[in-house]
Structure 1
């Protein structure tokens, strides 16, 4: 078996293969030179110097030995033969295999001109190393482009380090697609409370500078001076290497509800996988999908599904935001515990909010209410299992 992607989801797939009884040759291919590491701390504890690289590691020497895998690190995959039986590597080598787990993740989207010195993305350990080094060179004027989770977390860390920070978000509010307008207002208030300027409703026209960035031109004509620019405008799934294979690609690798692709001996997991019509770039998806994917890979067809209740969390300005469920525009939101303060940010004890549609709860949001949120999340999971009858879904059409 071959796992392409030495990522969180790739590691979980390796664990599942061994746990489910596969005792054959296991090859793990990774484009980065690092063994699997945890990405969420990169924009938080690692960036502010509260966590070192050793604390990011997801494996230790004992587990690495126990997996009995061949690690091919620092080499990218450049192709998959149409039958899915051979992985072609960028250094000219080939890996013959009985099955493939695609776990290549996603790459940060970039802006024209973002090759200037002082312009950063934050997706990999090497990205975080470079940004952390830049932020320790004295006071900086930082512009974060994009108010999503990575942008908000990075802005929060930069503000904690004492820099002047501006967040530019093209939408009227940050995180509207994920949380809806009322709760997105709360996230906007967190930025203001944290001393960060939030510019919304306009995009970026250009980055200024010759060799080094000096500013950001906005679409509305304003110019923001900048010593450091962080581009956080989403991610693009790593599927270029699969062009020409038999796999269906559309904003990810198209899979059925069990992570199985058009080739039964090829499954996909994590940020690169579009499972049952949805591609979810969250830690929980990367850790939950491999179990079903490996079960199906070993069976040779779909016998288990991987569609679980979506869940994500984000740490911003000393607040933990947790969300579970499926929000849709038009859902109504009710505060059921805690309060929102006069400045629009969470009250001192946080709050719990429920999203309702057609008289039933479809999602829950907790800010600094971890116990209440976990209870509500479990309730939501039970309701979902009850609605679906706990049955395994039939494979979806690709």
Structure 2
């Protein structure tokens, strides 16, 4: 039975919000739990949208965090297709829905996520211009890739980040022609640097993807509402039947900003500023998942992490903090990707400029290795490519901050768990 004396409201029905609601009940909270989601689908996980579901290898129902009946069974008041348009911090209320429903909260969690960055060029209103963030986007893109593969059509992708590359791999598996336009010198340059970015360029070229590095789209050309070509700032025109904008995501902070909460500047990744307990500048409001910007004690910097594991772990951590538990959120960032026959996992944080060398353990030419980003002998990040069951050991090396012998680090015969005490 629900005790109406306390009400916890969660704004955002993605993985972070759904797992927070689950955790509140698992931890014994008996008050009202209100989960407000601006999509009409039940909360779902996003990785399949560019991986298994997009490829047709996973069923649509496999993406959902819980069975639809779970919410009522656990007394979660789920509001689908509803947006929150105001937070009144003084009255401790949120206003949502077409009728302006107002509910009071004792604790509030913002799990509003992020949204795709838009191309600010002519032609983005054409029917063949796509983004990939929501389940509806994936359903549409799946249909598009099927048709492109059947008709030998061309897909132009703006951006060679994780989403851009995963969709490129899916498009090639469907049989579509693919050109990727990227402003950086290599794919994933801002995450992996040039050393490993080149590996992904080679992987995709081996599968027939064309790259244009150091360029950006300036116009999408169309006729009768349909895409015909994509032009770049180097004067080239690339044939295209469809265009995917995969130039990153922006945290959805408008609601928090209007409520007067502290927002990180864009140079720090933007997002709602939270402390180590995921509390915002208002002690009764928390934030988790893609929208939260937190100071990571291990890496001694502020960061905003957009990956699945951050939502999976951040939502429950915020829920426990809302309940007054003594929780510090300091998970090592983690993500994974599958492209063709390459599977990888990445742990840590080491953007270009933060490390002084990359150490390779294994055979990079065979795409079966572990890469370590190292600074002054300490491991900042590690990526295992087609090598499995090493994530915990890599994360232990990162957390230990121990100085390691880089020759031993590169030696596949030296046990990873022996390199740090």
For normalisation by structure 2, the TM-score amounts to 0.85
Map of 1:19 onto structure 2: 26
**Superimposed CA distance per residue, residues 29-85 of structure 1 (whole angstroms, 9 cap, x where no aligned partner):** 000001111210111221121212111111025532342111110011111113371
Instruction: State which of 217, 231, 235 in structure 2 corresponds to 1:217.
Output: 231
Specify the alignment match of 2:138 in structure 1: 128
User: Does the CA contact (< 8 Å) of 2:335 and 2:345 recur in 1?
Assistant: yes
Which residue of structure 2 aligns with residue 163 of structure 1?
176
Paired position in structure 2 for 1:389: none
* Mapped pair 1:335 → 2:349: no
Aligned to 1:231: 245
1:202 aligns to what? 215
1:360 counterpart = 2:370 = no
2:263 is the alignment partner of 1:249:
yes
Q: Per-residue deviation at 1:108?
A: 0.8
Taking a change above 3 Å as real, the CA distance of residues 52 and 385 of structure 1, as seen in their structure-2 partners, is farther
SS at match of 1:271: helix
Instruction: Give the match for residue 153 of structure 1.
Output: 166
CA shift, 1:197, in A, is 0.7
Residue 390 of structure 1 corresponds to: none
- Residue 378 of structure 1 and its aligned partner are, at CA, apart by 4.2
Q: Shift in Å at residue 195 of structure 1?
A: 1.1
What is the SS of the residue equivalent to 2:311?
helix
Q: Counterparts of 2:203 and 2:25 in 1: how far apart (Å)?
A: 44
Secondary structure of the 1:29 match is strand
Is residue 93 of structure 1 aligned with residue 101 of structure 2? yes
Q: What is the alpha-carbon distance in structure 2 between the residues aligned to residue 188 and residue 214 of structure 1?
A: 26
Please give the root-mean-square deviation of Cα atoms over the aligned residues, in Å. 1.8
Residue 385 of structure 1 deviates from its aligned partner by 10
1:85-125 CA distances to partner (integer Å, 9 max, x unpaired)? 11111412222211111111111111133221111000000
Query: Partner residue of 2:110?
Result: 102
Which runs of 5 or more structure 1 residues have no equivalent in the other structure?
A: 342-346, 387-398
- SS for the counterpart of 2:303 is coil
User: When the two structures are superposed, what TM-score results if normalisation uses the length of structure 1?
Assistant: 0.90
CA contact (8 A) 1:327 1:363 kept: yes
- Partner deviation per Cα, 1:284-317 (whole Å, 9 max, x = no partner): 1111122332222222xx9421121111111112
Pairs aligned (count): 376
Match of 1:376 in 2: 393
What secondary structure does 1:189 align onto?
helix
Residue number in structure 1 paired with 2:279:
260
CA distance in 2, matches of 1:224, 1:359: 45
Quick check: 1:3 aligned with 2:10?
Answer: yes
Question: Does residue 76 of the first structure (1) align with residue 76 of the second (2)?
Answer: no
SS, match of residue 247 in structure 1? coil
1:157 Cα shift?
A: 0.1
Give the aligned partner of residue 306 of structure 1. Answer: 329
Which aligned segments of 4 or more residues in structure 1 are displaced greater than 3 angstroms?
none
Provide the C-alpha distance between the structure 1 equivalents of 2:193 and 2:170, rounded to a whole number of angstroms: 24
Aligned in 2, Cα 1:159/1:321: closer, same or farther, shift over 3 Å?
same
Q: Give 3-state SS (helix, strand or coil) of 1:2's partner.
A: strand
Secondary structure of 2:175 counterpart: coil
Q: Structure 2: state its 5+ residue gaps.
A: 1-7, 265-269, 296-301, 404-421
Q: 1:384 to 1:357 in 2, by over 3 A?
A: closer
1:276-295 aligned at under 5 Å gives the runs: 276=295, 277-295=302-320
Correspondence for 1:38 among 45, 65, 69: 45
